[in-house]
Structure formats: C-alpha cells, structure tokens
C-alpha cells in the first residue's frame, strides 16, 4: 500500500514539473505576436543574410521611456560589469536582441530589459552580449545600428 501511495505522489509531482517546464518554455502573450507591442521581432531586408531568428529589440524611435536597470553594486564580477554597462549605454542595449531568447520565455523587449531585474545576473549570454556591445561602441566606435549588426552576426552563427 505504501508503495502505491509513493508511486502516485511521484507521478503527480512529475506531471506538475512537466507542466511547469512547458509553461516556462511557452511564449508569453506579450511576445506571441501582439501588434501593439513596440518590439521588432525580425528584420527582413537588412544587410545580413542569415536565416536564424533574430530575437526582439527596439528601434531608436521607441526609446523615450526605458525602465531603469538595477544598480551594479547588487552584483559581483562580470555581472556587476554588465550592469554598469547597462546603466551607461541603456539606449544601445535597448536596440539589441538578446540571444538567450528571453523575448520568448519572459517577454523581454530587448537586451536592456534583461538588466531591469536580476535576469542578466544569472545569464552568461546577457552578460557577455552587453560587455561585447560596450566594447564595440566605446572602443571600436560603432553606432548602435552597427553594434546590432555585429551582435546578430556573432550570435546567430551559434544558433545555426
């Protein structure tokens, strides 16, 4: 009898965990094709010729009211550096897609959105992408559009 109860409890827990995984992987309503969202989910006709999906990002005309990012002092190491970048170049990060694809799993609008909460502190893709964007803009003197093209070129190659 004990074994049957234990088996039933295990089965219920496994089904619940499977449901949670399914819900976590499903796109949120905001990112599932809303026409009122100020997010660019693809860009056909751009200079690059890859076929991988480009995650959402915002365009320059949509950057009037960006949410503030968390203070870098809350974090350590590379995450702290990336949160500093997010404070220094938020408008550039808002124009970049995030290749951890949090636009589908969390409804993020751009890379900048990852730094509004602690998501980026747990994600090496967000951190590395922000640090690369900073280097491209500050050291290589690229515009946000050029940074976006380099990010897409770099990260879409890892998706193919």
pLDDT of 98 = 96
16 in any annotated domain: no
Host domain of residue 119 = 38-156
pLDDT digits (tens, 9 = 90+) for 19-32: 443 344 333 333 33
Please give the Cα distance from 85 to 70 (Å, whole number). 11
* For residue 14, pLDDT beyond 80: no
pLDDT digits (tens, 9 = 90+) for 97-135: 999 999 999 999 999 999 999 999 999 999 999 999 999
Confidence of residue 64 (pLDDT cuts 50, 70, 90): confident
Total number of domains in the chain: 1
Give the other-Cβ count within 10 Å of 110's Cβ: 29
pLDDT of 62 = 84
2 in any annotated domain: no
99 in any annotated domain: yes
CB 115 within 8 A of CB 91: no
48 in any annotated domain: yes
11 in any annotated domain: no
User: Six-digit token pair at 42?
Assistant: 């693809």
pLDDT of 36 = 35
130 in any annotated domain: yes
Nearest Cα to Cα of residue 55 among 138, 123, 139: 123
Residue 57, helix vs strand vs coil: strand
57 in any annotated domain: yes
User: Six-digit token pair at 115?
Assistant: 């730094």
Please give the Cα distance from 56 to 40 (Å, whole number). 5
pLDDT digits (tens, 9 = 90+) for 128-149: 999 999 999 999 999 999 999 9
141 in any annotated domain: yes
Residue 110, helix vs strand vs coil: coil
């Amino acid at each position: 009898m004990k074994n049957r109860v234990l088996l039933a409890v295990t089965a219920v827990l496994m089904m619940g965990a499977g449901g949670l995984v399914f819900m976590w992987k499903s796109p949120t309503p905001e990112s599932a094709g809303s026409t009122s969202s100020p997010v660019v989910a693809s860009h056909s006709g751009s200079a690059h010729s890859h076929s991988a999906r480009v995650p959402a990002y915002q365009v320059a005309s949509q950057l009037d009211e960006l949410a503030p990012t968390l203070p870098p002092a809350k974090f350590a190491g590379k995450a702290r550096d990336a949160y500093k970048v997010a404070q220094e170049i938020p408008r550039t990060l808002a124009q970049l897609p995030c290749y951890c694809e949090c636009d589908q799993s969390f409804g993020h609008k751009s890379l900048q959105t990852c730094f509004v909460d602690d998501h980026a502190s747990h994600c090496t893709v967000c951190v590395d992408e922000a640090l690369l964007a900073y280097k491209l803009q500050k050291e290589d003197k690229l515009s946000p559009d050029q940074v976006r093209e380099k990010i897409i070129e770099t990260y879409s190659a890892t998706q193919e």
